[in-house]
Structure 1
Amino acid sequence: MHVFGQTVDDETRCVHYRTSADIVAIKFACCGRFYPCFQCHAAGETHPAGQWPESEWAEPAILCGACRGILSITEYRQVTRCPHCLAGFNDGCRAHAHLYFEVQAPPA
């Protein structure tokens, strides 16, 4: 699986997010390409990012950088660690969910 963007290691960390828990790449609804984050997508594409509608959350669109396992969006939104390898995901990513999925943005 190719991950686009400004990655800094084999576990999909990027120049923007590189803690030990930043091991997720997301397939963007607009282009079908995996990127580590919304900023990497903005730097690598000429189109705006599209969000996944809830009706398509069964799509296998989340890549665990630790084991390369793929999760559906629904699965990803229900867990805090990879169900395949048990690597922990960054819980802070939930604050950015509205950038990837059609959900309400958190209050400012």
Structure 2
Amino acid sequence: MLTIKGIGMDAETRCAHYHSAIDRIAIKFYCCGIYYPCFECHTATGCDKPAVWPKERFSEKAVLCGTCRHELTVQEYLDCASVCPNCEAPFNPGCSLHKHLYFDV
């Protein structure tokens, strides 16, 4: 079973910080290996040594679709055009504004 932590998180991994209909992913933080809906939840309740996924590890599963629980590799997520490749649920395209907080891009 996957560990997912967040503040005010719903069944599709929306949290107190990001909770629109298309906010439905959680990201496994490289530093602690735990899924969080966003960097703000990680800052508030996660480890104290945040680190981004290095490019050489982009083939590892690190993004979770909150709708179907499909795990995507970092590269699959970066290439997915804001839709889950498994269930086709839309992801928030605005998340790309924060990708530098999670991945070495």
Please give the range of the TM-score, normalised by the shorter of the 2 chains.
over 0.9
Tell me the matched-pair count: 103
Aligned residue runs from structure 1 range 13-52, under 5 A: 13-52=14-53
Q: Which runs of 5+ in 2 are unaligned?
A: none
8 A Cα contact 1:12 1:23, kept in partner? yes
Per-residue deviation, residues 75-107 of structure 1 (Å, max 9, x unmatched): 00001100110000000000000000012xxxx
Alignment of 1:51-66 (within 5 A): 51-66=52-67
Which deviates the most, 45-54 or 27-36? 45-54
CA spacing shift, 1:77–1:2, aligned 2, 3 Å: same
Name 1:82's counterpart in structure 2. Answer: 84
TM-score (norm 2): 0.94
User: Structure 2: how far apart are the matches of 1:46 and 1:83?
Assistant: 30
Structure 1 regions of 5+ residues with no counterpart? 104-108
Shift of 1:5: 1.4
Cα root mean square deviation, aligned: 0.9
Amino acid at match of 2:88: L
Q: Verify: 1:69 aligned to 2:70, yes or no.
A: yes
User: How much does 1:46 deviate?
Assistant: 4.2
Aligned to 2:88, the other structure's residue is in SS state coil
Partner of residue 96, structure 1:
98
User: 3-state SS of the aligned residue for 2:97?
Assistant: helix
With 36-45 and 4-13 compared, the bigger mean Cα shift is at 4-13
